[in-house]
A and B are shown apart, each in its own frame.
Chain A
């Protein structure tokens, strides 16, 4: 008779083997499906990698795709540690981008970039943070499910941007399409090595969050709070304060991602600039077990998949949505593989009575 038992954690070597094995298995499975649909899977994978990493131009595009994803994944990882399920990265992203655009529209055009950009970044942080604070307060005061409130607030934020895009912030120069004003040079992120400086901000955040979570008192407090709020209270921690700071930080970082995407990648705010990255970021953070360096790795892999997928459209006439399909298949396998990290199946010859 087969029986499921809990087991102790895996050694790092076993863990790595399990992860790599899972992804390989998923890629094989996705390949078989693509083969059945009449595409050559080997050619597809080669083209996918080529599209993401094949030339300097493609690498630049992949990095640019990675930046907002990485920053949002870092943002949500902070609150996930205290088991606050913020799936509102999208909403915080848009509110951040809104705040940044508002600063730029309010200040005169003569303000130099060196002042303008930090101001925009700061405002996006504040706006994103405040947007995340609403569900946190509701959760703290009334014990409302933060998962659903953050989810709903995503849509409210998108509608708000849509309103601005079709209404007060519509650029009259764009006759055919409702578009928000294009950022002037003083509000556009400068480029270093061909990619806007968002990548430097993202890497700094990786280091800062890694240190904050691993070596600071605050990081330790968040972990304790996540493990057991009672323990945290008995130990004399100010639970409310920790929670508020963590949520502000998390939402703020997601808000910064919005500013960076709008000014660095898109050139203007619009109601579709997140392209669902907020949800991908949640999955990336979870897959990376909330560790900042691993988030960097996982986000980059996701970016390869996304950029490579859009390249397939050009090179093989495969729709870009194929990257979502492959992403889904890999994630299904990874989600199921978690089981083998925590449980084992044993074979018992005779039933013990």
Chain B
């Protein structure tokens, strides 16, 4: 019984760890689907975490805090969009710079916030809701029915994004831009508007992802509190083969790895009569190694729906068509 309790709590923290990663991944998918690799996810998440926390402390309004976090991320990605879409700058370098900029600016703006605490008017509405009855389900109860509303919002957003991409006309246009911008342009789609809108929406999601950490998970502001989650999100976009539904599972899987790394310092198991000990750092490596393996697998399989958008990373200049 004790083991089942432990497992139940572990699964609960898996989802909590996975939520910021999920939101970052959804943001990354939106960027990549219009043909832009955005390596600035980490920077946008940090800006979201910082600004969301600042808004939470100063206004005491959780909705406003989340909105401002998203807007901070969206503003960062607007810079990225201006440079890569309008000025046709290099995606990789611009993304890296965005991460450096976001990391620096968030530490800078957040210097006075490290001692601050959120008022209870922000913390209470965002703390875990226990769904009566259902939360008592063994093992899965805690994971599915004792979570912050933020978690449910993130799942809803993922489903919404999947429906948008597969079943709506703008979603189809967006995918077309990522695959063949020339053809999309010829069919009358306003490429620039689409790119701007999706890149900024992606930034909004990344900002929200960061704010989950500072508003719900920790809930305080610490410098560089995302600790590489943005980079995992960049990798997860590929891991999930650009599919928001798979991103949910991918994010929780990676969340589980992180939760495991935090929970267990050293991991021992018997093998052929010997006690084998694995240090926690090796568990931390797993997400990255798995991403490489997934990269290899998707390139080997060459199945069409698992491939990156064809025009990913190349700037679109109308007269080059």
Interface, chain A (partner B; CB < 8 A)? 4-6, 85, 87, 138, 142-145, 147-149, 151-153, 155-156, 159-160, 162-163, 166-167, 276, 279-280, 282-283, 286, 319, 321-325, 327-329, 331-332, 335-336, 338-339, 342-343
Contact between chains at B281 and A163 (CB < 8 Å): yes
Contact between chains at A151 and B235 (CB < 8 Å): yes
- Scoring A143, A282, A335 by chain B CB atoms within 10 A of each residue's CB, the highest score goes to A335
> B121-129, B159-167, B286-294: which one contacts chain A?
B286-294
Kindly state the separation between the CA atoms of A342 and B317 in the bound complex, as whole angstroms. 12
What are 6 A-B pairs with beta-carbon distances under 8 A?
A: A144-B295, A149-B295, A152-B235, A328-B102, A331-B93, A342-B88
Identify which of residues 26-57 in chain B touch chain A, using a CB-to-CB cut-off of 8 Å. Answer: 37
Q: Does B152 contact A (CB under 8 A)?
A: no
Contact between chains at B100 and A280 (CB < 8 Å): yes
Contact between chains at B104 and A324 (CB < 8 Å): yes
Contact between chains at B291 and A152 (CB < 8 Å): yes
Contact between chains at B108 and A322 (CB < 8 Å): yes
By secondary structure, the A interface counts as: helix
Identify which of residues 93-130 in chain B touch chain A, using a CB-to-CB cut-off of 8 Å. Answer: 93-94, 96-105, 107-108, 111
Contact between chains at B111 and A328 (CB < 8 Å): no
Contact between chains at B96 and A279 (CB < 8 Å): yes
Interface, chain B (partner A; CB < 8 A)? 37, 79, 82-83, 86-90, 92-94, 96-105, 107-108, 111, 223, 228, 231, 234-235, 238, 279, 281-282, 284-285, 288-289, 291-292, 295-296, 299-300, 308, 317, 319
Kindly state the separation between the CA atoms of A13 and B233 in the bound complex, as whole angstroms. 43
Kindly state the separation between the CA atoms of A4 and B86 in the bound complex, as whole angstroms. 10
Contact between chains at B285 and A156 (CB < 8 Å): yes
Nearest-CB residue, chain A, relative to B105: A325
Contact between chains at B104 and A328 (CB < 8 Å): yes
Query: Chain B residues with Cβ under 8 A from A342's Cβ?
Result: 88
Kindly state the separation between the CA atoms of A339 and B92 in the bound complex, as whole angstroms. 16
Kindly state the separation between the CA atoms of A283 and B99 in the bound complex, as whole angstroms. 12
Kindly state the separation between the CA atoms of A323 and B107 in the bound complex, as whole angstroms. 11
Kindly state the separation between the CA atoms of A186 and B167 in the bound complex, as whole angstroms. 67
Kindly state the separation between the CA atoms of A162 and B265 in the bound complex, as whole angstroms. 13
Contact between chains at B285 and A142 (CB < 8 Å): no
- Scoring A138, A282, A328, A329 by chain B CB atoms within 10 A of each residue's CB, the highest score goes to A328
Nearest-CB residue, chain B, relative to A326: B104
- Scoring B100, B231, B282, B300 by chain A CB atoms within 10 A of each residue's CB, the highest score goes to B100
Contact between chains at B87 and A339 (CB < 8 Å): yes
Contact pick for A163, options B98, B102, B279, CB 8 Å: B279
Contact between chains at B279 and A145 (CB < 8 Å): no
Query: Chain A residues with Cβ under 8 A from B300's Cβ?
Result: 142
Kindly state the separation between the CA atoms of A279 and B299 in the bound complex, as whole angstroms. 26
Nearest-CB residue, chain A, relative to B107: A321
Query: Chain B residues with Cβ under 8 A from A279's Cβ?
Result: 96, 99-100
Contact between chains at A155 and B288 (CB < 8 Å): yes
State how many angstroms separate the Cβ of A236 from the closest Cβ of chain B.
28
Nearest-CB residue, chain A, relative to B277: A167
Query: Chain A residues with Cβ under 8 A from B107's Cβ?
Result: 319, 321, 324
Query: Chain B residues with Cβ under 8 A from A143's Cβ?
Result: 299
Kindly state the separation between the CA atoms of A138 and B296 in the bound complex, as whole angstroms. 8
Kindly state the separation between the CA atoms of A324 and B102 in the bound complex, as whole angstroms. 9
Contact between chains at A282 and B96 (CB < 8 Å): yes
Nearest-CB residue, chain B, relative to A152: B288
Contact between chains at A329 and B101 (CB < 8 Å): yes
Query: Chain A residues with Cβ under 8 A from B285's Cβ?
Result: 155-156, 159-160
Kindly state the separation between the CA atoms of A112 and B234 in the bound complex, as whole angstroms. 46
Contact between chains at A319 and B111 (CB < 8 Å): yes
Query: Chain A residues with Cβ under 8 A from B292's Cβ?
Result: 138, 144, 148-149, 152-153
Contact between chains at A166 and B281 (CB < 8 Å): yes
State how many angstroms separate the Cβ of A235 from the closest Cβ of chain B.
26
State how many angstroms separate the Cβ of A184 from the closest Cβ of chain B.
26
Kindly state the separation between the CA atoms of A144 and B238 in the bound complex, as whole angstroms. 12
Known: A143-B299, A163-B279, A321-B223. 15 other contacts (CB 8 A): A6-B317, A145-B299, A148-B295, A151-B235, A159-B281, A163-B281, A167-B279, A319-B107, A321-B104, A325-B108, A328-B100, A331-B100, A335-B90, A338-B90, A339-B86
Query: Chain B residues with Cβ under 8 A from A319's Cβ?
Result: 107-108, 111
State how many angstroms separate the Cβ of A47 from the closest Cβ of chain B.
16
Kindly state the separation between the CA atoms of A143 and B307 in the bound complex, as whole angstroms. 12
Contact between chains at A339 and B104 (CB < 8 Å): no
Nearest-CB residue, chain B, relative to A134: B292
State how many angstroms separate the Cβ of A107 from the closest Cβ of chain B.
25
Contact pick for A6, options B86, B308, B319, CB 8 Å: B319
Kindly state the separation between the CA atoms of A312 and B90 in the bound complex, as whole angstroms. 31
- Scoring A142, A162, A331 by chain B CB atoms within 10 A of each residue's CB, the highest score goes to A331
Contact between chains at B83 and A332 (CB < 8 Å): yes
Contact pick for A148, options B94, B100, B103, B291, CB 8 Å: B291
Contact pick for A324, options B103, B228, B299, CB 8 Å: B103
Kindly state the separation between the CA atoms of A148 and B98 in the bound complex, as whole angstroms. 17
Kindly state the separation between the CA atoms of A6 and B88 in the bound complex, as whole angstroms. 12
- Scoring A142, A148, A279 by chain B CB atoms within 10 A of each residue's CB, the highest score goes to A148
